Amino acid sequence: MGKVKEQQFEDSRRKQINKAAETYLCDQEEGDNCDAYAVLLEESDKGNGDCRAADFVTVWQPLENSVSVDEMIHLIEDSISEPEVPEILQKIDWTDLRGQKTTLLQTIDFLEKSGIKFDETVDVKQITDDLTGILHLIDSLQDFAVDEMGVNSIHVFDFEEEENRDASTPEENFARTNAEIIFQTRIEGEGLYVDDEMSKEFIESIVDDRYHSDIIKDMIRRDILNDVLLNPDNFDKDQDGNFTYDASMSEYGFAIEEYCREQFKQRSCKYKVWVEVERIVLDKEGNEESYTDEECPIGIAYRDNLEDAVKLQELIENGFGEL
pLDDT digits over 201-258, tens only? 989 999 998 878 888 888 898 889 889 988 899 999 999 889 999 889 999 999 999 9
3-state secondary structure of 186: helix
Note whether residue 204 is domain-resident.
yes
Residue 81 is given by DSSP the state P
Name, in order, each residue with C-beta under 8 angstroms of 313's C-beta and a sequence gap of 6 or more: 273
What pLDDT does 124 receive? 79
When divided into structural domains, the chain yields a total of 4
Note whether residue 102 is domain-resident.
yes
pLDDT of 125 above 60: yes
- Number of Cβ within 10 Å of residue 215's Cβ equals 17
What number is the average pLDDT over the span 89-98? Answer: 85
pTM strictly above 0.85: no
Let me know whether 203 and 251 are in one domain. Answer: yes
3-state secondary structure of 127: helix
pLDDT tens profile 244-253:
998 899 999 9
Q: Which of 228, 251, 267 is the last residue of a domain?
A: 267
- Number of Cβ within 10 Å of residue 117's Cβ equals 8
Helices marked H in 51-119 — which ranges?
Answer: 69-79, 87-90, 94-114
Residue 31 is given by DSSP the state S
Domain ranges, residue 150:
97-162
pLDDT tens profile 140-181:
888 888 877 777 777 787 765 555 533 457 888 899 899 999
Phi, psi angles (nearest 5°) of residue 272: -110, 130
H or E segment to which residue 200 belongs:
helix 200-207
Let me know whether 250 and 283 are in one domain. Answer: no
